[in-house]
């Protein structure tokens, strides 16, 4: 056990899983010690909440099972604030973290600070050294600025690749440290998204947290407004609804779907919290229940988040795009997700484009005694099966997209974040199929669903 900054963490030997603190739970002892957090082994914590220590989260209520619920604000960056491929405020050489290696035999003509240069003349620093005065070279934070020699590439001593998470784009600490303005007018700014969420949950309730995959997908949507403008979009596994809310600022209508009344209620409240963004854009978000392990949509009038017959018809007739963010972390749910994709797309009368974002999570497993990515590997296996599927109903084309779109939201865009595009095209012989015809099986493993 290690204790630092009032946080007690139990390390489980995970190299990289749901977060740097994998499988943890959040407990609050009293109102005067809200910053004292204890992590247990049975739940998970999102990197989004853990890696933003300067962000202020306002606790609003408790869930039905006693989980603290917070509201966080996420700013959509303007053109001048958007992140490029380099870390803001740093040159490309600084971002690399080392100097370019010199060719063999090439002399360092610049020389270290305070030594003779190419002409053999000492600089001002050298004169200060002779006088007994040494000038310290400090960075902007007051720390000693040391130029490091380039590191040699380590020799491969084993057949296993080194695991090195790389930060591709980093959040701007200046923007993170801005004080929150609690004024109602400021809260209703068009570029501020307010999301209600929890800070740690069991694996079954991870949808109540905000994950980096949702930010990546939101970035992509904001980068491609022409693709989404005026479209009917269906989100599977929407969680807190952040991506659906962003999509609704561009699209005509978004069906924001997931399971569980508590989660769907949280999602509905988030839609209400962001009406100031949706109403000017004319976007319509409808929070509905869609269970991947069930073949039929719930149309029961007594169910709060059930579908109406008109909505079912509209969803099947007009859906142009399906989106899903970070939903493939469990093999059974991944199987259900791909079967749902297959069932929906086989009943659509036109071509549908699916965008899937996810984070490749690496874990140390006792079964392999090595680092593995079982959930990611299963996702890739299902993708391959979907593309190879030949049943006379629908054809699928799979393509991985670069994760280099402009960054509109503040988060750590790491190398393990991926974005996939699946194009589903109905085959001519299937255009006369009834929308109500059930599909008994789909791509992926044929193991029985729970």
- The answer for residues whose C-beta is within 8 angstroms of residue 245's C-beta and 6 or more apart is 193, 270, 271, 274, 277, 278, 285
From the first residue on, what is the mean pLDDT of each consecutive set of 10 residues in the chain (450 residues)? 37 37 36 44 72 64 82 82 47 37 43 44 46 58 68 55 52 47 55 89 88 96 96 97 96 96 94 91 93 91 93 96 95 95 94 96 77 90 93 91 93 94 84 42 42
pLDDT at 262: 92
> CA 21, CA 41: separation in Å to the nearest integer?
10
pLDDT at 148: 66
pLDDT at 431: 45
Helices 331-347 and 374-388 cross at an angle (nearest 10°) of 20
pLDDT at 159: 56
pLDDT at 110: 44
- The answer for residues whose C-beta is within 8 angstroms of residue 182's C-beta and 6 or more apart is none
pLDDT at 9: 33
Backbone angles phi, psi at 364, to 5 degrees: -85, 125
pLDDT at 364: 75
pLDDT at 384: 95
> CA 235, CA 257: separation in Å to the nearest integer?
6
pLDDT at 63: 77
Give the angle subtended at the CA of 166 by the CAs of 160 and 172, to the nearest 5°. Answer: 165
pLDDT at 281: 84
> CA 191, CA 276: separation in Å to the nearest integer?
10
pTM for the whole structure: 0.68
444 closest CA partner among 304, 360, 330? 330
pLDDT at 86: 41
> CA 155, CA 87: separation in Å to the nearest integer?
29
pLDDT at 136: 56
Place of tokens 């006379």: 392
């Amino acid at each position: 056990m290690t204790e630092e900054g009032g946080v007690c963490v139990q390390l489980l030997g995970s190299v990289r899983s749901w977060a740097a603190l994998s499988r943890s739970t959040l407990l609050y002892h009293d109102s005067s010690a809200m910053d004292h957090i204890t992590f247990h082994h049975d739940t998970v914590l999102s990197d989004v909440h853990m890696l933003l220590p300067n962000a202020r989260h306002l606790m609003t209520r408790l869930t039905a099972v006693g989980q603290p619920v917070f509201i966080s604000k996420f700013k959509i960056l303007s053109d001048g604030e958007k992140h490029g491929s380099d870390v803001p405020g740093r040159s490309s050489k600084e971002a690399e973290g080392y100097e370019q290696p010199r060719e063999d035999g090439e002399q360092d003509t610049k020389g270290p600070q305070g030594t003779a240069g190419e002409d053999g003349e000492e600089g001002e620093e050298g004169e200060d050294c002779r006088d007994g005065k040494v000038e310290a070279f400090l960075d902007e934070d007051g720390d000693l600025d040391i130029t490091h020699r380039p590191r040699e590439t380590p020799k491969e001593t084993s057949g296993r690749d080194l695991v090195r998470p790389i930060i591709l784009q980093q959040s701007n600490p200046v923007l993170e440290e801005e004080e929150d303005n609690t004024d109602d007018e400021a809260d209703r700014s068009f570029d501020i998204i307010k999301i209600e969420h929890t800070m740690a949950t069991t694996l079954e309730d991870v949808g109540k947290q905000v994950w980096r995959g949702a930010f990546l997908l939101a970035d992509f949507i904001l980068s491609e407004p022409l693709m989404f403008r005026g479209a009917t979009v269906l989100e599977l596994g929407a969680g807190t609804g952040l991506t659906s809310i962003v999509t609704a600022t561009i699209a005509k209508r978004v069906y924001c779907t997931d399971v569980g009344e508590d989660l769907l209620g949280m999602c509905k409240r988030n839609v209400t919290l962001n009406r100031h963004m949706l109403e000017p854009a004319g976007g319509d978000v409808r929070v509905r229940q869609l269970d991947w392990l069930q073949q039929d949509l719930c149309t029961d009038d007594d169910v709060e988040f059930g579908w109406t017959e008109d909505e079912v018809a509209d969803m099947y007739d007009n859906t142009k795009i399906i989106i899903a963010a970070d939903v493939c972390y469990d093999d059974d749910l991944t199987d259900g997700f791909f079967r749902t994709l297959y069932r929906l797309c086989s009943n659509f009368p036109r071509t549908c484009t699916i965008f899937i974002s996810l984070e490749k999570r690496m874990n140390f497993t006792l079964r392999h005694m090595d680092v593995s990515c079982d959930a990611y590997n299963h996702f890739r296996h299902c993708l391959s099966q979907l593309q190879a599927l030949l049943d006379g109903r629908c054809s699928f084309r799979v393509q991985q997209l670069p994760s280099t779109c402009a960054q509109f939201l503040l988060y750590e865009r790491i190398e393990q974040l991926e974005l996939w595009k699946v194009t589903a095209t109905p085959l001519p012989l299937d255009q006369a199929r009834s929308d109500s015809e059930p599909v008994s099986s789909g791509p992926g493993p044929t193991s029985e669903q729970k």
